[in-house]
Amino acid sequence: MLSIQKLSLSLILLGGFSTAFSQNKEAKKLQPISKPLVSDIYTADPSAHVFEGKIYIYPSHDIEAGVKENDNGDHFAMKDYHILSLDKIGGKVTDHGVALDIKDIPWAGRQLWAPDAAYKNGKYYLYFPLKDKNDVFRIGVATSTKPAGPFRAEKNPIKGSFSIDPCVFKDTDGSFYMYFGGIWGGQLQKWSKGSYDAKGALQANNQEALAPKIAKLSNDMLSFSEKPKDVKILDEHGKTLLAGDNTKRFFEAAWLHKYNGRYYFSYSTGDTHFINYAIGDNPYGPFTYKGVILKPVQGWTNHHSIVEFKGKWYLFYHDTEISGKTHLRNVKVTELKYNPDGSIQTIDAYK
């Protein structure tokens, strides 16, 4: 017999997948506002940066691995990374081939999920989540002298790292910070007591939602200079969002950008499929919830990045227009616009 907790989780999962199914059926009837950037491979979770005057995109590389779909995301069985670049929005997209392969990562177990990248002092850094040989997600780093790689992985993951979806933000003072974390298959709930607990469970609906993490990077960009801290996301009354606030609370896909001197923390709500944002006054937060950036897209996941390029802001995201399958996605881009008060105009990916 299912425990009450497991039964509740099952109902949540069923509700999430039912919502996604309904949204996907509706999305298929509508016209996408953007086309896939590449169609010869499947790409997702795009982290976009401007390096050397171009936009470089660091996505996941989806493959059909023949793994049965489950709630832990085992069907997302990626094995390498391809890096994309373009000189202008709407222009030719270059696929630079394999930049890093799982077979070349000494500590690798399985599943190369959503990466990010950074540049400092003539060197490029690729940060990636990967399950180690004990099937625990850690965050690794690889280096290159070129933005498109190839990248060489360090022998071990970053000490003190865990969970998924690293986002590395460079502040105007030159400091670098990593944001990371993801619940459910991302294992963040298994670290809620400070160390890994294979039986770690999600919070009850009336408890504070699990927080994403932040850690300042060391000068060499290969380690944390501090113990990871919680990133608090507050409601309009200054109270921490609860686990039951699943249209607003953090699930995965952290991203940080700065606009007009303020810090915008954006993320996916997972089972409700929104990309939301919250605003704060420093990299550590707290961040106050402000609204939705991107409405649900076709496919169960929603994952994004935001970048300024040649005076305009852009949202990179994915859906499943090509395959119609949740684990075989395609990266897209559309313009992102702000209102005079600094709020972001909500985007619907379909007409």
319 catalytically annotated:
no
Choice among 116, 165, 245, 252 that is catalytic: 252
Choice among 45, 245, 319, 321 that is catalytic: 45
SS (H, E, C) the chain: CCCHHHHHHHHHHHHHHHHHHHHHHHHHHCCECCCCCCCCCEEEEEEEEEECCEEEEEEEEECCCCCCCCCCCCCCCCCEEEEEEECCCCCCEEEEEEEEEHHHCCCCCEEECCCEEEEECCEEEEEEEEECCCCCEEEEEEEECCCCCCCEECCCCCCCCCCCCCEEEECCCCCEEEEECCCHHHCHHHHCCCCCCCCCCCCCCCCECCCCEEEEECCCCCCECCCCEECCEECCCCCECECCCCCCCCCEEEEEEEECCEEEEEEECHHHCCEEEEEECCCCCCEEEEEEEECCCCCCCCCCEEEEECCEEEEEEEECCCCCECCECEEEEEEECECCCCCECCECCEC
69 catalytically annotated:
no
* Catalytically annotated residues: 45, 252
